[in-house]
Amino acid sequence: MQKKYFNDAFIGNKDVTVSFTKYGELLRLYYPLPDYRQYSDFLHVGVKVNDSNIIYLHSDVNNKYNQYYTENTNILNTEITNTYFNLDIKQTDAVMIDKDVIIKKYVFTNNNSIDLNINFLVHSKTLSSYNNQAGSYITEDALIQYSHNFTCAIFANQKTLSHQVNDVERNIGSGVIYDKDYISQASEAAISYDLGLLHPGDSREFVVYMYLSYENTNLNEIRSNIDEFKKTNVEKELVKIEKYWLDFLNEHNRLKIKSDGTELMNEMMKIYNRSILYMPLLVNEDTGGISASLEVDEERDKSGRYSFCWPRDNVMVYMALDFLGFDDYGDKFYKIFLKNTQDKTGMWEQRFYTDGRLAPCWGYQIDETAEVVWGAYMHYLIAKKYFNDDKEDLLIEILPMLEKAIDFLEKYINFILNEEDKNVEIDKHYEEKYYQVDKDEIYKHPSYDLWEMNEGIHLYSLSAIYAAFGAMHQIYNAVGQSFKYDQEKMDEIAEEQPKYLVYRKKIKEYILENLYDKQRKVLKRNTTDNLTDISEIGAIIPYHVFNANDEVMKNTIDEINLTLRTYNSGYLRFQNDTYIGGTNPWIISTAMMGMYYTELGDRENATACMKYIVDNATPLSLLPEQSNKDLNKTWVIGLGWSHAKFLNFFLEYIGITNISLYKQ
């Protein structure tokens, strides 16, 4: 597979998610889930003009590019000008709403003074493996690439000029392809179409379709469907797609936010609207699970991969999406995804596929379990406080799941506080028992931190547990009366509920005793080192162990500013961060600081954080994981967590929400 580390643009529907480069090249095609499977190795489109070799639309020294979405939609336009032939091409890519068909519309305009004869070529390679080998099949008007459980038919509404299914690389560069065979076990093939003569000043439209089918490789049925799709009125279909996304945006801007006309607000609104349009392309509609991003690193050259579903990340994403009218997805996330993925111990593993199947992991994170309990209450509270929507029935339905989780957290915190065994030295126990912990006692195993890099006892994790105990106390308040005819349950609640406030008190005391540097008068990220870490702000944003005006937090923020703030007002994750080359501020870190300053009432610093985020959005208003435009460094464009943190910060910044919502 080609190495391709950047997705610049995205289109899709509920089953299909497609990514593109800024030059209009299709990079990845996920179907029928947003994280599994990806089928395209490459799809290269080019033209042969007069006697030229192939001119790839996505890559030619004479090409100039301009890319944009049709306003407030997921219809992508890439304008390509070939300066050698003075040929303009407008490429429009969209996915039908109710059918798994990608529309690729091209409009060619001859701005030359001579006639241009144009042949159009599609060169496609689908991913193939020894477990799921792909082959190619040619009909008179289509290229059908298929494996055991996937078919992609590429076709137009006219017959092909020529095709090649063997040794395509041998002569594709010439723009002339030919083959005696119509079927091959090769996963790579090409077809061409004759678009005819284009006179000076003339324009011509040509449409290519990509019809996707899962678990169906019946060629007769595929060919019958191709015949039906060829009858599509493309203009009407594009209008239908445009209307769908415009309506979707309107429905999910249920706060009815509008720009005040200022430059900063205009830019924030672009990111806000793009976030609403982008997030459904990552959601599994059956489970509510959300992929962290479309993949950028399949071979794990630079990371542990991204296209998975972290329970913690999803909780944070729904903290934002719940304000935008995505709470029906959120309900599924808690009722289906989390219930199906909870371990018998009560905890959640690190990450899953969006359908709930376990994904490759390398450890566990205690904050994932804590955030589920806290997030469930936030999901309930946002609906009730802002939209007068009572989700008490949801809390009752998932209460057994939350109780299992809180029991696990109790075991963990009792171990950390030495309540289980007063003679245990935690750090020594971790060292001695590192490889010997039974799964039923996984709470004794050191947990990874927020960044999944260090194992131990962490401030962020303890803050999340602190918030989870507060949330569980409030959940029992919310649902308690529903059990008024169940005396046994009422007695259980009466016995359990007071403990959670005691645990909160003990956790805060533990933090001040073990995660507070008495000399520097600042909080520490863990019990083993003194490196400054943006996750320390989790003690306020969002978990509120401390208040923004507390001296310990002000001192900690001062240290963060001395060590993690960059010259462009973005924030690093922690000192000596070398991930993907290091020295790059993160959107997440900067949004966390922006929310702190907003709560503090420091508008100047909050605005500086917001301007960093706005300045480092892509030209299509997508947010990366980390970015430093001055160094031309960007990583993981379209990170769901970045968009979610921006949304929460944005709503705070413009005064729609208040951080006090998260206090218990």
Indicate the pLDDT class of residue 234, thresholds 50, 70 and 90. very high
Q: Residue 257 falls within a domain, yes or no?
A: no
- For the ranges 428-432, 468-472, 593-597, 620-624, the lowest mean pLDDT is seen at 428-432
Indicate the pLDDT class of residue 349, thresholds 50, 70 and 90. very high
pLDDT value for 557: 97
The pTM assigned to this predicted structure is 0.95
Indicate the pLDDT class of residue 428, thresholds 50, 70 and 90. low
Q: Residue 135 falls within a domain, yes or no?
A: yes
pLDDT value for 70: 98
Q: Mean pLDDT throughout 572-595?
A: 92
Domain containing 211: what range?
9-218+233-247
pLDDT value for 560: 97
513 pLDDT higher than 60: yes
Chain position carrying tokens 């490889």? 435
Indicate the pLDDT class of residue 24, thresholds 50, 70 and 90. very high
The string of DSSP letters for 593-648 reads HHHHHHHHT-HHHHHHHHHHHHHTS-TTS--EEEEEGGGTEEEEET-HHHHHHHHH
Contacting residues for 500 by C-beta, under 8 A, at least 6 apart? 406, 469, 470, 472, 473
Instruction: Give the C-alpha separation, 460 to 447, whole Å.
Output: 11
Indicate the pLDDT class of residue 422, thresholds 50, 70 and 90. very low
Indicate the pLDDT class of residue 620, thresholds 50, 70 and 90. very high
391 pLDDT higher than 60: yes
Instruction: Give the C-alpha separation, 10 to 93, whole Å.
Output: 10
Q: Residue 159 falls within a domain, yes or no?
A: yes
Percent of the chain with pLDDT over 70: 96
Q: Mean pLDDT throughout 294-323?
A: 93
Give the long-range contacts of residues 169-172, CB within 8 A, separation 24 or more: 172/54, 172/121, 172/123
160, amino acid identity: T
CATH number of the domain within which 154 lies: 2.70.98.10
Helix axes 366-387, 459-479, angle to 10 degrees: 50
Q: Residue 429 falls within a domain, yes or no?
A: no
Tokens of 504: 């909160």
Q: Residue 410 falls within a domain, yes or no?
A: no
Q: Residue 54 falls within a domain, yes or no?
A: yes
pLDDT value for 427: 60
CA-closest candidate to residue 313, choices 359, 346, 345, 270: 359
pLDDT value for 256: 94
| Sign of the dihedral through C-alpha 382, 385, 386, 388 | positive
The string of DSSP letters for 484-501 reads TT-HHHHHHHHHHHHHHH
Indicate the pLDDT class of residue 423, thresholds 50, 70 and 90. very low
The 10s digit of each residue's pLDDT in 160-211 is: 999 999 999 999 999 999 999 999 999 999 999 999 999 999 999 999 999 9
- Which phi and psi angles does 225 have, rounded to 5°? -70, -35
> What separation in angstroms does the CA of 586 have from each of 105, 629, 635?
36, 12, 10
Q: Residue 145 falls within a domain, yes or no?
A: yes
- Which phi and psi angles does 609 have, rounded to 5°? -65, -45
> What separation in angstroms does the CA of 353 have from each of 35, 176, 296, 426?
7, 42, 16, 33
pLDDT value for 437: 64
| Residue 565 per-residue DSSP state | B
Q: How many domains does the chain have?
A: 1
Q: What is the mean pLDDT of the chain?
A: 93
441 pLDDT higher than 80: yes
The 10s digit of each residue's pLDDT in 516-557 is: 999 999 999 999 999 999 999 999 999 999 999 999 999 999
Helix axes 311-321, 640-653, angle to 10 degrees: 40
Q: Residue 289 falls within a domain, yes or no?
A: no
Q: Mean pLDDT throughout 119-135?
A: 93
